[in-house]
Amino acid sequence: MTIYPADSVILAPLSGYTDLPYRHSARRHGCRMAFTEMVDAGSLAFGNKRTRTYLDRGSDEDWLGVQLVGCEAEHIAESARILNDYRFDVVDFNLGCPAPKVVKKGAGALLGRNIDKAVKLFSIIAGISRIPVSAKIRIIDELDPASTVEIVKKLESAGASAITIHGRIKEAFYSGQVFYEVIAAARQAVKIQVVANGGIMDLSSYGVIKKATGCDCVMVARGAMGNPWLFEEVVMHDRYQPPTIQQLCKEIELHVLETIDYYGEELALKVSRKIILDYMRGRGFPGGLKAEVSFLHNKEDFYKFLDKIIEGHTERYWQWLEKFPHAERRLHR
């Protein structure tokens, strides 16, 4: 079974980010395949109300995956049974998250290094789920692909329809070199789909990872934070034109207003602060203006701030952009 159409660019499950408003922002700019936020199996099994909201699916979402994280067999099993009552296109098992709060529980990237236990827990999901199952892992060794190949082959045997591989080890988190050759070795070792992940920030890095790994599909994560135009860029290539400041402000407005409708004004503005900063990052806005994001408490504050975004943009950015015309997070005058 093929999970993803050829040349898919998939929005990764991002804890604290990929809620319904976030996914709608990405979809406005060409994202078709997306995931919910990462869902803790224990919280879902115990009926946590907030965790259940992570499973919300918009009526306009043609394709949506869900990702579980956990290391307790009974929680994994119960979560898989719960997800059978929902409409998802794939259930993914996280074996790659390096976040300390996940790793200290023995889950995520730490579990991914305990190959036998990881495969055993994955098999529980595969045995219960009526929905196709996949896994997201990190490479285990930067120089020797053998351990990464081992887990990929065992996950394939356990019923995985696809595997996404982040090309950095657990300790590297989200920076530094991506070891494409390890992903390539794993892809060549199995018949199921392998999706390349890690360091995709623009069209150039997208092209590099596809060519170096031989994977036809990729998953983007941090590169899409505050930059939903990334999906347009990798599809349109030379025809792509970055957003203007006005278009940037409009997308921020749409994103935040939907977040307000979804969560209510007070909580939404708290949730939106990091989102707004992501939109501003690397686009020529002064630090003092970014600091004001922390003081947005209601819709009135937000609209006043939007006006300041256009007024506060520095001319030096355009001078810098002339020297670095292929910068990752460009604007268009």
| Residues marked as catalytic | 97
73-101: b (≥16 Cβ within 10 Å) or e: eebbbbbbebbeeeebbbbbbbbbbbeee
Q: Under 8 Å CB-to-CB from 223, ≥6 apart: which residues?
A: 199, 200, 201, 202, 205, 230, 328
Residue 69 per-residue DSSP state: E
Helices (H), 69-225: 73-83, 100-103, 108-113, 115-128, 146-157, 180-189, 203-213
Q: Phi and psi of 83, rounded to 5°?
A: -65, -20
- How many angstroms separate the most distant Cα atoms in the chain? 58
Q: Under 8 Å CB-to-CB from 57, ≥6 apart: which residues?
A: 20, 36, 64, 86, 87, 88
Q: Under 8 Å CB-to-CB from 5, ≥6 apart: which residues?
A: none
Say if residues 138 and 173 touch (Cβ distance below 8 Å). Answer: no
Residue 87 per-residue DSSP state: -
Closest by CA to 218, choosing from 37, 31, 39, is 31
Closest by CA to 164, choosing from 110, 207, 218, is 218
